[in-house]
Amino acid sequence: MGILSSKKKKIERKVLTFSQKLKKFLTKYFFITFGAFVAAFAIEGFLLPNEIIDGGIVGISMMVSYITKFNLGVILVLFNLPFLFLALQKMGKTFVATILYGVTMLGIFVNLINFHVTESELLATVFGGIILGVGVGLILRNDGALDGTEILAIRLAKKFGFSVGEIIMFFNIFIYTAAGFLYGWDSAMYSILTYFIAYRVIDVVMEGLNNSKSIYIITNFASEIGTAIMKELDISVTYMKGKGGYSGKEQTIIYCVVSRIEMTKIKNLIKETDPSAFYFIQDVHEVDGVRVKKK
């Protein structure tokens, strides 16, 4: 990645001051509060008026509230309590307190928000899913949660060997099937579409829109390509040693992280230098750290 000093530097963990800890704490709970408000706005303004539900405990709570006419905010909190108890046993008091705060705020905002944005099921599905995804994503990004389903899924996954995603999908199949009998199959299908949209938006909120790409380049001209990348694109590279499985020859592999804009340029540079070079590209999220430049 560049020229580094041969002396090893002792890495010291940064100790936060009280003001920094307080700022971090307040920022975290501000975004959890705002995320709960946004999620409640999606539920009350878009989903509930059009008989569209979310997945997991939130979806179950919405159906139970619809059947019993009992307060949705209270049901949301009560239905999540058993899962918080499960989390307390394995994940600690701080984590549980954060989830309890998020769920409680969602319950409060659901009761405070009392207006409908649209009666169009399609618009409610699309925009309700987007807004719900933004709200949930903000909460997840700040170590919170609004749904105890994932907590249960984690416990069951360890016990029965299924993945967390498979268990959540299994739960949601029953939830949306129940929604079909309760609201009608059109509403159930809109609910599934809302869940899918929200799921994708959560990924965007968690990982960001500006996804970078990592590229591995296997070539006999590693030095030439690596130097060209650093010189022409001002991108630092890492050289790694590899060995061909068939040839048994030692080879140098180039690795670097680039933006989407730079990807076309680096492909052209590789083809110009070595048309027979083999390379593959992967998505990279949350790129951070110090880029080491040549002195």
Which domain covers residue 199, as residue numbers? Answer: 18-207
Look at residues 182, 266, 177 and name the one whose alpha carbon lies nearest to residue 219. Answer: 266
Tell me the pLDDT tens digit for each residue of 51-106.
888 888 888 999 999 999 899 999 999 998 888 887 777 667 888 888 889 899 99
Last residue of a domain, one of 178, 207, 236: 207
**CB-CB contact of 158 with 54 (8 Å):** no
CATH of residue 253: 3.30.70.120
* Phi then psi dihedrals of residue 69, to 5 deg: 65, 20
Tell me the pLDDT tens digit for each residue of 188-228.
899 999 988 988 888 778 766 666 788 999 988 888 888 88
- The alpha carbon of 44 is separated from its chain's Cα centroid by a whole number of angstroms, namely 24
Task: Report the distance separating Cα 243 and Cα 250, nearest Å.
Answer: 5
Residues 225, 169 share a domain: no
Task: Report the distance separating Cα 222 and Cα 214, nearest Å.
Answer: 16
pTM: 0.73
Helices (H), ranges, 118-184: 121-141, 149-160, 164-183
Residues 90, 221 share a domain: no
* Phi then psi dihedrals of residue 100, to 5 deg: -60, -40
Task: Report the distance separating Cα 100 and Cα 96, nearest Å.
Answer: 6
